[in-house]
A = this chain, B = another copy of it.
Amino acid sequence: MEKERFLVIGGVAAGMSAASRAKRRKPETEVTVLERGSFVSYGSCGLPYYVSDLVKDVQGLVVYDAAFFREKRGINVLTRHEATKIDPEAKTVSARDLDSGEETKLGYDTLAICTGASPSRPSFPGVDLKNIFVIRTAEDGIALKSFIKESRPKRAAIIGAGLISLEMAESLRENELEVLVIKRPGSILRMFDDDMAEIVESELRGKGVELIKEAKIQGFEGNREGLVKSVILEDMKYDVDFVLLATGSAPNSLLAKEAGIKVAQNGTIVVDERMQTSCPDVFAAGDCVGQKHLLTGKDVYLPRGTTANKQGRIAGENAAGGNEVFPGVLGTAVSKIFSLTVARTGLSSAEAASEGFDFVTSSVAHPSHAHTYPAPEPEDMTIKLIVERTGRLLGAQIVGRIGVAKRIDVFATALYNKMTVDEISNLDLCYSPPYAPVWDPILVAANVAQRKLA
């Protein structure tokens, strides 16, 4: 009898999780991964720290390399191989070896599409000039870091003001660059409420980042060598040595679409909760698919490394005959922006409003830990809660300097369980002076929200 073949397109987060899980569940399966880039299983969220040189070598971003997967897990990993066509009838995938140019065709019994997403490239005039970078893959990081090391630029413009843009603002400031963050009208960090984003704004300005908020970008201007030399706004022109585009990302679903696999309006490959596509034996996971929002039940596109890994694992399990489901997401996110930690989960005020919820919001600043352990001194964190009139929590946002990240996870766990602020205020959370005040900021936030509802 021939061995069963599981083929995976894409070898970063979802892809390697799917491959590893399928091999673990059914070790006799022949598992092959096609990865377009040179690296597999790397943490692209670490790219800002690679560019800032906190991580010296790009290998420092890799969790396990291709050799590990081949030798320790018995997974056939083909890097620098781009899948060019899926034939769901013949159950084959065509691929091109990007080094030799050679074309091959691989058969499969089950397939997982984990093609990820690509940075959005706004259609501004001049967007194809040289020294306009994006930051998504290890190769993008290498290109930007070598440019900075070799060309010693002085002044950079970042287009966009989301979490990655602002992490990169810090990263470039670490490189002692002048940094302009240019964004279209509206506040920065749109997944946060405006009042929370304002705290981050003042941190940015305090760290010497120039923020141009109401920008109507007309395009980029180049010099004779075709290198970008300025960003053109409606009424202004900024001279820069390079540009980083960070205006979001779009799912890589063309390959699936061309194979007749169902793709949604927003470009995500349509999957059910078992990560199965419209095509028998084809699964998809990671940044190329959408998710169900646990609070609204609606389809959303909230790409995250954590979600990609979980979905990949489930795709691999089910491709190998399992029956696991992915329940959905809450849009939980955290980011270090200079000395601030910013974190959120659930719905923002704008999202709760557009979903038609009847809600109140409450904000409170409360210390990270007890003043009886002043090493370091406690720092206030600001917690904003979005609470349905019924008392049920809809969302939480925290901005602070100490102890923020895993506190958002308590709120994410509360949201998963549809807790009310009354219930949250009674949680038996841990206390000791080095870690929390006797009234944890989580409990104080719930208490303040209770009073708003009263």
Residues of A at under 8 Å CB distance from B?
Answer: 13, 43, 45-46, 49-50, 54-55, 60-61, 63, 294, 304-307, 309-310, 326-336, 341, 343, 345, 370-375, 403, 405-410, 412-414, 416-417, 419, 423, 426-436, 438-440, 442-443
Of B335, B409, B428, B440, which is within 8 A of A410 by CB?
A: B409
Q: Are B433 and A412 within 8 A (Cβ)?
A: no
Q: Are B327 and A431 within 8 A (Cβ)?
A: no
Of B50, B61, B408, B432, which is within 8 A of A334 by CB?
A: B432
Of B49, B331, B341, B428, which is within 8 A of A433 by CB?
A: B49
Closest to A371 in B: B60
Q: Are A373 and B54 within 8 A (Cβ)?
A: yes
Hey, which chain B residues are within 8 Å of A345, CB to CB?
A: 428, 430
What are 20 A-B pairs at a CB distance below 8 A? A13-B438, A45-B433, A54-B374, A55-B373, A306-B438, A310-B426, A332-B428, A333-B432, A336-B432, A336-B434, A336-B435, A341-B435, A403-B406, A406-B410, A406-B435, A406-B436, A409-B427, A409-B430, A410-B413, A412-B429
Bound: A435/B334 CA distance, A: 8
Hey, which chain B residues are within 8 Å of A406, CB to CB?
A: 403, 405-407, 409-410, 430, 435-436
Hey, which chain B residues are within 8 Å of A370, CB to CB?
A: 43, 45-46
Closest to A294 in B: B428
Known A55-B374, A345-B428, A372-B55; contact A405-B435, beta-carbon cutoff 8 A? yes
Known A43-B372, A46-B373, A406-B435; contact A423-B428, beta-carbon cutoff 8 A? no
| 5 other A-B residue contacts (CB within 8 Å) besides A331-B428, A336-B434, A416-B428 | A55-B373, A63-B371, A335-B432, A406-B406, A407-B409
Closest to A423 in B: B416
Number of identical monomers bound together in the oligomeric complex:
2
Bound: A343/B431 CA distance, A: 10
Bound: A13/B439 CA distance, A: 11
> Least Cβ distance of A176 to chain B in Å?
18
Hey, which chain B residues are within 8 Å of A335, CB to CB?
A: 432
Q: Are B49 and A372 within 8 A (Cβ)?
A: yes
Q: Are B309 and A45 within 8 A (Cβ)?
A: no
Bound: A371/B63 CA distance, A: 8
Of B46, B306, B373, B426, which is within 8 A of A429 by CB?
A: B306
Interface centre among A13, A326, A429, A430 (most CB of B within 10 A): A430
Hey, which chain B residues are within 8 Å of A63, CB to CB?
A: 371, 438
Known A54-B374, A407-B406, A409-B406; contact A433-B304, beta-carbon cutoff 8 A? no
Pairs of residues from A and B, 10 with the lowest C-beta to C-beta distance, nearest first: A46-B372, A406-B406, A405-B435, A334-B430, A417-B417, A413-B413, A330-B428, A332-B428, A306-B431, A336-B434
Bound: A335/B408 CA distance, A: 21
Q: Are B372 and A438 within 8 A (Cβ)?
A: no
Closest to A333 in B: B430
> Least Cβ distance of A63 to chain B in Å?
8
Hey, which chain B residues are within 8 Å of A413, CB to CB?
A: 410, 413-414, 417, 419, 427
